[in-house]
Structure 1
Amino acid sequence: MSATLSRWSRALVAVGVCWLVGWQAAALAGFPRRTTVTLGLYGFVLHVVFGKAYSLVPSYFDRALAWPHAPAVTLPLVVVGSAGLAAEPVDGIPAVVGAVGAWSWALGVAVFLGTLAWTLRDNLSGAETGTGDHNADRRRIDRAANLFVPVVFAYLAVGSWETLAARAAVSPLIDGYPPRATHLLAAGGAALLVFAVGFRLLPRFLVAGLPDWVPWVVLPTGALGPALLAAGLPAGTVFRTGAVVEAVAVVGFAAAYAHLYRSSDRERVGFYGPLVGAGFGVLAVGLGLSFAFWPVDPTLVAAHYRLNLLGFLGLTIVGVTFQFYPPTVGRFPGAGDDLALAALAALTGGLLVEVAGAVVSAPLAVSGGRALALLGAVAYAYLVLGVFLQRARE
């Protein structure tokens, strides 16, 4: 059963990696913004989130996944869902494609949430952490992190329902305004899970520690901010409050990771991903604060979502996957830390050039940055998928 779970969890991650390449190609080709946001959020970020959550969350709650075949059922549903939702905004695509995608996505998320909810049903608070005695000093932070995982599930449920309600004959919980669903899923579903899982994973990766109070700055604000942002969009006091609260969470997480990085005596290429991602996260919330308190510059809206999805969430995911699937274990041409570092550099440099181009209204720089990011995504996919294929053959 553990082999089945591991295989299909990796498959979800692998498909997410492929979505990253497709997303960068679509951005370079000039596809509609709603298409590229869908490819980045629903395709890349959330596919990887589903894959790693299936394998990590049960163990973090000292449980075994109730249904090891759940990832195999989730995978085709969320793939069809992402494809349909991404295709819908393209000219000439009938609305039914988006409706089918929304239903398929909702069913896939229902399988994911239902399976994990049943798995954790007698330990929803996360008091049982599965933390061994050799890490007894980490239990307080582990319990704090676990406590917010059900909040992540709530955001995924509400965001997916709003996605469905915007395209099918079901009543929305809010009003069906698409950016609300995007913020619920990205900030509430993905970013909050990065915070919660990050407080468990990252100190262990870097063999460093944090004060016990740090998660209590980041996690409550990370849990409240997305709700305020979604409820307050596109402007107003609630939206401004949400932008400030979410900024506290992201800046707090960035400071926590910077502390871990400085405290660690280990050197791994994967450590650079969350470090650079945290920096992009700070830039993203800074831009978000400008949207909340001053007139919105439409040319910077795309930069904001790229900083969040590719910068903060994307590069954090890239770095963490390099930790789980080290390039150095690859026995195929080019495998190793040099190519991994080049992939991170291309994604980072491409995003910086793109954002700078957006700020100064230089379309050529925007396109050049996206082309460089595409090269980084291809290199990243080559390394991760190469390791997966190598494992499958062993």
Structure 2
Amino acid sequence: MSVAFLLCWRFGTLVGVSRRAEVILALFGFVFHVIFGMAYLLVPSYFGTVLATDRLPVVHLGSSVSGTILLALSASAVGPPSVETVGALLWGCGVGVFIAALLWSVGDELRRGETGTSTHRAKFEWVDRYANRFIPVAFAYLAIGAYELVARSTALPGLTDGYFPRITHLLAAGFAALLVFTLGVRLAPRFLGVPAPKELTAVVLPAGALGPVLIAFGLSSGSVFVAGALAEATAFICFAALYLVVYFRSERRRVGAESILAGVGSGVAGVSIGLTVAAGPLFDSSPVPAGALSAHLQLNLLGFLGLVVVGFAFLFYPPTAGRFRGATARTARMAIAVLVVGLTISVVGRLAGWSVLSSFGDGVVLLGAIGYGYLLIRLLVEIGARQAT
């Protein structure tokens, strides 16, 4: 489903859907559905246990997929206003089921401080234990963001004014990015065989936990907004530095590691634009280019979250495990390269105000997304067929 939403998003970007529809397809559809799936797989194991139910994820999937579709239709001005309300309720219910399933699974282990770190990986234990403390923070952001989404289109009292960018920052930076940081400092070292530096980990996670709330509640309010942008920029830069240290110290070169490398670089570029936008009014600087916010969106959703998702997907499901045409490391790296090249062209076109160039870049990204989708779906179908027999 994540791949399906990715393809819908990139096709929609190419033909010119509204920005809100683009964000919903990208964040609620593509990014969140792969995070939901991987969280069911990883979070219980990080607390030394297993998922307590195999039924609730099915309910969650149906609710979140249908909710995302309805929200995207509403953002595209399709259907009556009730479409948004029903979509928000379905998506919010899916989130509630998701959080309940994981709390049911890890509640006792969370209270006991379990890490699931095996004895022969003692060098990873400090980072593992420290990172686990921030997983509940990420889920709190998800719960608040989902509630605000529902309150925005119903009679429920909201914690904010319902401004859509506040909600998306709570969800994208607060849940998605923070969970990438928390899981990433555990995952990347294991795939690459190099422990994460403790000093950088100690900075990344608190900054990544503080930044989103300041940004979301400080939008358009000067110094609070700037403080949040600074905290978020610190988290992104330190996470990029952490991954660079692990990547270049490692002797392993797995398919997908380069995609994460490009993703963290894109994230730094994205938050740099965000910091410029936030701090500009304080210094009476000249207005940012008209396409800066669009470039910021592409760099964060497609660049950071997207390329990191693609990278970890290929690390968990290497195409070389398949027995179909194109199931090679070279094909996977080509798909990643096309995504990176397309993103670069698209961002340059947006910043320069050249719509033809940005559209060309979006078309290149769509080709890369098709390549990634082909490899991942074919492999997952093949794995399912093997398990069935």
Flag whether TM exceeds 0.5 (same fold).
yes
One-letter amino acid matched to 1:300? A
Equivalent residue runs for 1:24-43 within 5 Å: 24-43=10-29
Letter in 2 for 1:238: V
Q: Structure 2 CA distance, aligned partners of 1:114 and 1:92?
A: 32
1:299 to 275, 291, 295: 291
Q: Give the match for residue 244 of structure 1.
A: 230
Looking at structure 1, the residues matched to 112 and 196 of structure 2 have their Cα atoms a distance apart, in angstroms, of 19
Work out the CA distance in 2 between the residues paired with 1:163 and 1:235: 21
TM-score (norm 1): 0.94
**Residue in 2 that maps onto 1:229:** 215
Corresponding residue for residue 140 of structure 1: 126
Residues 34-53 of structure 1 mapped to structure 2, 5 A cutoff: 34-53=20-39
**2: CA distance between counterparts of 1:175 and 1:365?**
37
2:50 equivalent in structure 1: 64
- Give how far 1:125 is off: 5.5
Determine helix, strand or coil for the equivalent of 2:75.
coil
Q: Normalising by the residue count of structure 2, what TM-score does the alignment of the two structures yield?
A: 0.96
Which residue does the alignment assign to 2:314? 322
Match of 1:154 in 2: 140
Aligned with residue 108 of structure 2, among 119, 122, 132: 122
CA contact (8 A) 2:290 2:353 kept: no
Counterpart check, 1:354 vs 2:340: no
CA shift, 1:174, in A, is: 1.6
Deviates more, 1:58-67 or 1:241-250: 58-67
Q: Tell me, what secondary structure is at the counterpart of 2:138?
A: helix
Are 1:219 and 2:219 matched, yes or no?
Answer: no
In structure 1, what residue type is equivalent to 2:263?
Answer: G
**Quick one: which amino acid aligns to residue 359 of structure 1?**
L
Q: Does the CA-based 8 Å contact 1:126-1:146 persist in structure 2?
A: no
Q: Is the 8 A contact 1:269 1:322 kept in 2?
A: yes
Pairing partner for 2:267 from 281, 291, 295 = 281
Percent identity at matched positions? Answer: 47
2:357 to 345, 357, 365: 365
Match of 2:284 in 1: none
* CA deviation profile, 1:286-307 (whole Å, cap 9, x unmatched): 0001110114444211111110
Letter of the 2:21 partner, please give it. Answer: T
Q: Distance in 2 between matches of 1:388 and 1:340?
A: 15
**Letter of the 2:332 counterpart:** A
Q: Deviations over 1:115-135 (max 9, x none)?
A: 111222223357211111110
- Counterpart residue number, 1:4: none
Unaligned runs of 5+ in 1: 1-14
Shift of 1:329: 1.1
Contact 1:156 1:184 in 2 (8 A): yes
Pick one of 169, 180, 191 that aligns with 2:155: 169
Q: Which runs of 4+ in 1 moved over 6 A?
A: none
Give how far 1:96 is off.
Answer: 1.1
Cross-structure match for 1:7: none
Match for 2:23: what amino acid?
V
Cα deviation, residue 95, structure 1? 1.2
Q: CA deviation at 1:64?
A: 1.8
After TM superposition, the structure 1 stretch with the greater mean CA deviation from structure 2, 249-258 or 112-121, is: 112-121
Question: Residue type matched to 2:325 in 1?
Answer: P
Contact 1:126 1:143 in 2 (8 A): no
SS of residue matched to 2:125 = helix
Q: 2:329 is matched by which residue type in structure 1?
A: D
Match of 1:73 in 2: 59
2:283 match: none
Unaligned runs of 5+ in 2: 281-286
Partner of 1:82: 68
Of residues 151-160 and 60-69 in structure 1, the stretch that sits farther from structure 2 once superposed is: 60-69
Answer yes or no: is 1:54 the counterpart of 2:34.
Answer: no
Equivalent pair of 2:123/2:195 in contact (CA under 8 Å): no
Partner amino acid for 1:209?
P
Amino acid at match of 1:223: A
Amino acid at match of 2:155: A
